[in-house]
Structure 1
Amino acid sequence: MPPRPPINILLSALYLQLPAPLRTLPCQAQRRGIRSILKPPPKPNRFDQSAHHGAPEALSRSKVLERKSYTIPQRTGLLAIKKGHVSIYEPDTGRRMPATVLQVDRCQVISYKTLDKHGYWAVQVGSGYRKPKNMTRPELGHLANYKISPKDKIVEFRVKDSKGLQVPIGSELKPDWFTVGQYVDCRSKNKGKGFAGVMKKHGMSGQPASHGQSLTHRTLGSAGGSQGSGSRVHPGKRMAGRMGGIMHTVQNLKVLMTDSEKGILVVKGLVSGPKNSYVRVQDSKKMPDQVNKLGLKMGAELEVQPAKVLTSTGEASPEAGLVAEQLMATEALDSGAAPEARL
């Protein structure tokens, strides 16, 4: 087999056959490289969800609510006050089971949130009573617009669609809103523990007790890697800090007893939070078929309750316009009106 000529000799022969103006192009291409006309693929963006959900229309608010509609309850919930834990014995087996006693205090429907105006379906509910002098003027005006007495706590409950808005504004929600045997979700703010270390807050093992270890027995060990992880502390690293005092949900608690006359609701299990703290009670998200199976009421049969404002003697006045009069009196005092306008 004859020897092959070197590649540079072949290239030089082809190079000499090119016209004079084109002989400088290979040299420039060798120095600078050939630039492709194809655009490079875009870099991944974790905020761009179009690759997962398809067209941008799938990211609209209506489509998002449609995908989440199965986990949103059909009915509104109510506000209750935690009174403590008790023990109840099953009559059949005699087994002891823990339970939580909740009190429902003047829980009324205040207003609605609609999809067209606010972007979602919700029912605004208020509970308790607060003196008008301890409320802001926008709060008094909002309640006076719907002829509702001043409330100590106001929250919203998301509902699936417009069927959850059948509860009339001003109607009072009592413990019989739930049925014995159904399951509910209780959401409340758990007890605050203050500043806690990593052993109490996150359950870490801590440092050695001996073998030369001194001064740091219950502290955090390594907070991050060196060059391999960027020589930094990554976001979300568990460290010492304030423990508790955040919202916590306990799901699938069975309703054991309801007493509308005394305003008592007893659920099986333990609910987070200290005594006299507010608890949001709503139908269980993981059991959306309870409304049809148990025949739960949607609220259209409830009656509207008149607004009541406590007077200086502590008696409740049934006049619905006192909230509006209180607001007007406050505006009159600011404008320098006569003292007779005071309530």
Structure 2
Amino acid sequence: MSGLIGKKIGMTSIYDENGKNIPCTVIQAGPCVVTQVRTEETDGYAALQLGFDDKSDKNASKAAQGHFKKAGTAVKRKVAEFKGFDEEYKLGDSITVEMFTEGEFVDVSGTSKGKGFQGVVKRHGFGGVGQQTHGQHNRLRAPGSIGAASYPARVFKGMRMAGQMGSEKVKVENLRVLKVVADKNLLVVKGCVPGHKNSYVIVQK
């Protein structure tokens, strides 16, 4: 799937022609530079490696500096590969947000917000054990039983328990493109997108 690397700017809302308020997310999509062209002959598959968001040379290794120098561009913070581009692109070409059109649907993937170590009520929506009556003063957010006794004498894999929550790769599919602001490289999509403000996201057609 062809696409671009972007940065989540934040959320806002706009009104449609019927006066309905629509929540939406603003993404700075591109411009992305072609930093490597994968071909069937040399790599076994066809794809484009795109780079986004400049960073200084002092924060990059010599190998990374040489890699981006071949494309004639500055060192990039985020690099990703995309397949399925209709047009032919060469090393150093720039791809902008204009590849998207208003009304089409895109998939956006990113890393969700990390929420640390959480209990079963917040992490899995458990209801707790019992009520506040009959002496149960400290059971409201407890997980309760996690299995039987002598058989099977173990806890099954995948048991929903407390643990680290968030900070996972999440893809939200079929978000409608509401606006394309080409002069500012902005893409406005309907609904929410994973990640915190200024986090990197992958937008695919």
Q: TM-score under structure 2 normalisation?
A: 0.90
Establish whether residue 125 from structure 1 lines up as the match of residue 47 from structure 2: no
* Farther off after superposition, 122-131 or 100-109: 100-109
- The counterpart of 2:88, out of the listed 154, 159, 166, is 166
Separation in structure 1 between the aligned mates of residue 177 and residue 110 of structure 2, nearest angstrom: 17
**Pair 1:223 & 2:149 matched:** no
1: distance between equivalents of 2:188 and 2:29? 11
Q: Report the counterpart of residue 156 of structure 1 in structure 2.
A: 81
Instruction: Provide the rounded CA distance (Å) in 2 between the counterparts of 1:148 and 1:112.
Output: 14
Deviation at 1:186, TM superposition (A): 0.7
Counterpart amino acid of 2:111? K
Structure with higher helix content: 1
Q: CA shift at 1:251, angstroms?
A: 0.7
Q: Which runs of 4+ in 1 moved over 4 A?
A: none
Q: Distance in 1 between matches of 2:4 and 2:158?
A: 34
Amino acid of the residue matched to residue 3 of structure 2?
G
Shift of the 212–115 alpha-carbon distance from structure 1 to 2, 3 Å rule, reads farther
| Structure ID, larger Rg | 1
Distance 1:221 1:164 in 2: 55
Q: Supply the distance in 2 between the matched residues of 1:236 and 1:165 (Cα, whole angstroms).
A: 45
- Equivalent-residue separation in structure 2 for 1:114 and 1:198 (angstroms): 48
Report matched runs for 1:233-244 at 5 Å: 233-244=155-166
Instruction: Report the TM-score, using the length of structure 1 for normalisation.
Output: 0.56
Is the alpha carbon distance of 1:107 and 1:232 closer, same or farther for their aligned partners in structure 2, counting shifts above 3 Å? same
Q: Match for residue 77 of structure 1?
A: 3
- Rounded to whole Å, the distance in 1 between the matches of 2:35 and 2:136 is 61
| Counterparts in 2 of 1:264 and 1:204: CA distance versus 1, 3 Å | same
3-state SS of paired residue (2:183): coil
Cα 1:212–1:164 shift into 2, 3 Å = same
Partner residue in 1 for 2:111: 189
Distance across 2 between alignment mates of 1:113 and 1:219: 52
What are the superposed Cα offsets for residues 230-270 of structure 1, whole Å, 9 maximum, x if unpaired? Answer: 31112211111111111111111111111221111111111
Q: Tell me whether 1:87 sits opposite 2:10 in the alignment.
A: no
Any unmatched runs of 5+ in structure 2? none
Larger displacement relative to structure 2 (211-220 or 242-251): 211-220
Cα pair 1:112 1:165 within 8 Å, conserved: no
Query: 1:239 is matched by which residue type in structure 2?
Result: M
- The one-letter amino acid of 1:132's match is D
Which residue identity does 1:203 align to in structure 2? G
Matched-pair contact (CA < 8 Å) for 2:30–2:185: yes
**Does the CA-based 8 Å contact 2:29-2:186 persist in structure 1?**
yes
Aligned to 2:195, the other structure's residue is in SS state coil
The letter of the residue matching 1:188 is G
- Which ranges in structure 1 are unaligned for 5 or more consecutive residues? 1-72, 284-343
Give 3-state SS (helix, strand or coil) of 1:152's partner: strand
The alignment status of 1:213 with 2:116, answered yes or no, reads no
The CA distance in 1 between the partners of 2:41 and 2:150, in whole Å, is 52
The 1-side partners of 2:115 and 2:41 are apart by 42
Kept in 2: contact 1:100–1:268 (CA 8 A)? yes
In 2, the alpha carbon distance for the partners of 1:119 and 1:216 equals: 57
* CA distances 1:185-228 after superposition (whole Å, capped 9, x unpaired): 01111111111111000001111233233544312112223344
Establish whether residue 176 from structure 1 lines up as the match of residue 98 from structure 2. yes
Contact 1:123 1:165 in 2 (8 A): no
The structural deviation recorded for 1:83 is 1.0
1:201 to 107, 123, 137: 123
Q: What amino acid maps onto 1:192 in structure 2?
A: G
**Contact preservation (8 Å) 2:30, 2:95:** no
Give the aligned partner of residue 173 of structure 2.
251
Amino acid aligned to 1:79 = I
Matched, 1:232 2:154: yes
